[in-house]
Amino acid sequence: MQEQLTPDFGDYELIDTGDFEKLERFGPYVTRRPEPQAIWRRSLAEEEWRRQAHASFLRDGRSDERGEWRLRPGMPDRWTIGYALPGATLRMRLALTSFKHVGIFPEQAANWDFICDACRAAGSSGRTPRVLNLFAYTGGATLAARAAGVEVTHVDSVKQVVTWARENMEQSGLDGVRWIVEDALKFVRREVRRGSRYDGIILDPPAYGRGANGEKWILEENIGEMLAGCAELLAPQGAFLVLNLYSMGLSSTLARTAVRQAFGVPREEQWGELCFTDRAGKELPLGTYYRMKR
């Protein structure tokens, strides 16, 4: 089933979008960041954007991604927000990075809900399910799975990001996550050789990246092998998969086709865009997703 998803995220709000920027509230603080998909005009005046923004990201002129933040007095470089799941609240530490990110992709909360529900269903048989989170970043999906009581293996190639995810786990009152600092594809290859099995796999690959030892990841070139490996790792019954794509131009239909080739036709599937709507009613797509259950 094709569906557009927007999570109910009280600590996050998309205030305005346009002219390739977005104005967002994370908890009590408002940030202003580049957004290449906001091709329309802003609804609020420039003066209002300046008045509301506690932190504004300025590109360095050589890159669309790198730059620095201009902060208003009193704006901290770190703060924490929460996201409520049934029976648990995830606490995520945010920070202003030189790559314009703040440590969370709030649209992914729609997948956190799905992951939490799928993990609870998988654990209803009495055994403890195992979930693998690849390209796991600061761990929102990891914490959603762990809050549901499953065993979670969190894999990311950047040590500092894994440390950040561990801090989020501790702030959320959770423990017991297995942390792996390694290239995700290399880890999957090794798990296939070991004959490992998982009841859930979460894939959030970047368009381009580097592994812990300099391994090169290019989405279009490597996603086929990654999906084939994950198909061998995913349990044949009662298991789930979540795949996110952030590369502009890669659709959810493309993701569905690639997953079906590797995994076969699932029992249930859902695909589409992850979106937020600003106060003026403008819908901003922030990524595509595909998720399925065997």
pLDDT digits (tens, 9 = 90+) for 81-101: 999 998 899 999 999 999 899
Q: Rounded to an integer, what distance in angstroms lies between the CA atom of residue 291 and that of residue 271?
A: 6
Q: Give the CATH number of domain 12-71.
A: 2.60.40.1180
Q: Rounded to an integer, what distance in angstroms lies between the CA atom of residue 226 and that of residue 241?
A: 13
Sort strands 240-245 and 283-293 into parallel, antiparallel or unpaired.
antiparallel
**Strands ordered across the beta sheet of 29-34:** 12-18, 21-26, 29-34, 55-59, 67-71
CATH 2.60.40.1180 domain range(s) in the chain: 12-71
pLDDT digits (tens, 9 = 90+) for 148-191: 999 999 999 999 999 999 999 999 999 999 999 999 999 999 99
- Cα three-residue angle 156-164-9, rounded to 5 degrees: 100
At 53, list the tokens: 């923004």
If you classify domain 78-293 with CATH, what class do you get?
A: alpha beta
pLDDT (0 to 100) of residue 66:
82
Distances 233 to 18, 191, 244, 265 between C-alpha atoms, Å:
42, 7, 18, 16
Q: Where are the strands (E) in the chain, listed by range?
A: 12-18, 21-26, 29-34, 55-59, 67-71, 78-85, 88-95, 130-134, 151-156, 178-181, 200-203, 208-210, 216-218, 240-245, 268-277, 283-293
Over range 186-197, report the average pLDDT: 98
Contact 175, 216 (CB under 8 A): no
Contact 233, 191 (CB under 8 A): yes
pLDDT digits (tens, 9 = 90+) for 21-74: 999 999 999 999 999 999 999 999 999 999 999 999 998 766 666 889 999 999
pLDDT (0 to 100) of residue 62:
63
pLDDT (0 to 100) of residue 63:
61
Nearest to 13 by CA among 282, 280, 279: 279
106 vs 62: which has the higher pLDDT: 106
pLDDT digits (tens, 9 = 90+) for 205-256: 988 888 878 888 888 899 999 999 999 999 999 999 999 998 667 899 999 9
pLDDT (0 to 100) of residue 247:
65
End-to-end Cα distance, the chain: 15
Res 125 pLDDT > 80: no
pLDDT (0 to 100) of residue 218:
87
Q: Rounded to an integer, what distance in angstroms lies between the CA atom of residue 156 and that of residue 206?
A: 11
pLDDT (0 to 100) of residue 248:
60
CATH 3.40.50.150 domain range(s) in the chain: 78-293
CA dihedral 217→192→294→239, nearest 10 degrees, is -90
DSSP string, 132-193: EEES-TT-HHHHHHHHTT-EEEEEES-HHHHHHHHHHHHHTT---PEEEES-HHHHHHHHHH
pLDDT digits (tens, 9 = 90+) for 263-280: 999 999 999 999 999 999
**pTM, full prediction:** 0.95
pLDDT (0 to 100) of residue 173:
97
Place of tokens 């305005």: 16
